[in-house]
Chains A and B, each alone.
Chain A
Amino acid sequence: DVVMTQSPLSLPVTLGQPASISCKSSQSLVHSDGNTYLNWFQQRPGQSPRRLIYKVSNRDSGVPDRFSGSGSGTDFTLEISRVEAEDVGVYYCMQGTHWPPAPGTFGQGTKLEI
């Protein structure tokens, strides 16, 4: 089974400063169709998760452009160019390439705090 590993698990940041979260997969996430299905979710305190990024680097509608995703193969990164107060929460990477979803489909989560 594929296992997603995030780091750091806790990320203290300063408002206006950049932040970066790493996500590594135990197997390549390149699908047989040529796409790489690595997604990022944000979960603000007390809220449901929300997808931010899909297929490594595509921002969902309404997601501020300070969020960006990058990477390939087994190594991926979510970056926030300038952290704002509303960005506080937990960020999860999730792989969609390998079926069925195993317990390691989601990363452990990275808690972003000011």
Chain B
Amino acid sequence: QVQLVESGGGVVQPGRSLRLSCAASGFNFNIEAMHWVRQAPDKGLEWVAVISFDGINKYYADSLEGRFTISRDNSRNTLYLQMNSLSAEDSAVYYCARESLDGYKGGWVDWGQGTLVTVSS
């Protein structure tokens, strides 16, 4: 059974940094691309970033303006999201998600429970 468990969320001041983790199990993590998707309070879904199975290729939403970095440790079956220069607009539940057999094109078939990030002074 696929499990994705995010951690690392919390309250952080504007301008500070935070690193999220996602522990994966139940599937062959090191052959799958992985994504982060976020959802601001009472808002819709927003794709954040993707990383290839080997960690070489990474893509980000334009809106992030280079502040976030996605990475992975296949030896630990863990996905990360380093978030810098945080602002109130980054407040959201952050989900890690496993893409479909069609890749991004088919969306995401497995989601974590999400971790809440609140940026506030």
Contacts and interface: CB of A to CB of B under 8 A. Distances in A.
B46 A100 contact: no
A80 to B, nearest CB: 19
Interface string B85-121: 0000000000100001011111111011110000000
B63 A37 contact: no
Contacts of A103: 46, 61, 63
B27 to A, nearest CB: 15
Contact of A60 (B95, B104, B105, B109): B109
* B contacts with A: majority SS: strand
Contact of A96 (B37, B63, B104, B113): B104
Interface string A24-64: 00000001000101010100000011110011000010000
Given A92-B44, A96-B104, A96-B106, 15 more contacts: A48-B111, A49-B45, A49-B95, A51-B100, A51-B107, A54-B106, A55-B106, A60-B109, A94-B45, A96-B103, A97-B105, A100-B61, A101-B104, A103-B63, A106-B46
Interface of A: 31, 35, 37, 39, 41, 48-51, 54-55, 60, 92, 94, 96-97, 99-103, 105-109
